[in-house]
């Protein structure tokens, strides 16, 4: 995980920005962790209400076997290497899988309108398979279509905000 950079938005709130093929976690009061422009990528947001810790993973591809060297350099690029890292990071704050609120978003078909590569669908199947194998339950998902999404998780409350192009915001 790269170092945490906090920016102050126009409303004076601290934002921890998660880039593409990146992951951030925090237990700092007032932090909002945000990732932008989820197209075919998947954003996995987790929150433990007892310890007030949250994190977001923004992964690009389903399986690290596609490029083992890239996965070694950046495990957050792939579902099968990034998701375990996200949960391990929350465990460092005292988080427990059984308590975590889990939200996933993305998996759209943006640049591949004819569905030739199906990256969005393959990314979605990868997270579902990993969750099934590890007994992780998803509280909410906003998947598919051909739209971009921005996901924010608020460390204080655990609220997850999904902003969808042309559709506004949903608070989960």
* Residues with catalytic function: 41
Residue listed under structure tokens 């126009």: 10
Dist CA 126 CA 129 (whole Å): 5
Closest CA to 107 of 128, 84, 135, 137: 128
The pair of structure tokens assigned to 162 is 């999904």
Using CA atoms, how far residue 11 sits from 7, 14, 22, 129, in Å, is 11, 9, 25, 39
Q: Mapping DSSP to helix (H, G, I), strand (E, B) and coil, where does residue 171 land?
A: strand
* Under 8 Å between Cβ of 56 and 33: yes
């Amino acid at each position: 995980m790269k170092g945490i950079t906090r920016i102050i938005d126009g409303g004076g709130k601290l934002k921890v920005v998660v880039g593409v093929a990146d992951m951030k976690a925090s237990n700092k009061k007032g932090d909002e962790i945000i990732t932008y422009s989820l197209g075919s990528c998947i954003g996995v947001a987790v929150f433990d209400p007892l310890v007030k810790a949250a994190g977001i993973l923004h992964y690009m591809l389903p399986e690290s076997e596609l490029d083992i060297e890239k996965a070694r350099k950046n495990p957050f690029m792939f579902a099968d290497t990034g998701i375990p890292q996200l949960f391990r990071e929350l465990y460092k704050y005292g988080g427990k899988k059984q308590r975590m609120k889990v939200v996933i978003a993305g998996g759209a078909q943006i640049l591949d309108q004819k569905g030739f590569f199906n990256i969005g669908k393959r990314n979605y199947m990868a997270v579902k398979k990993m969750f099934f194998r590890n007994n992780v339950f998803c509280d909410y998902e906003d998947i598919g279509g051909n739209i971009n999404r921005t996901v924010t998780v608020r460390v204080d409350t655990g609220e997850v905000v999904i902003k969808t192009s042309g559709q506004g915001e949903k608070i989960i």
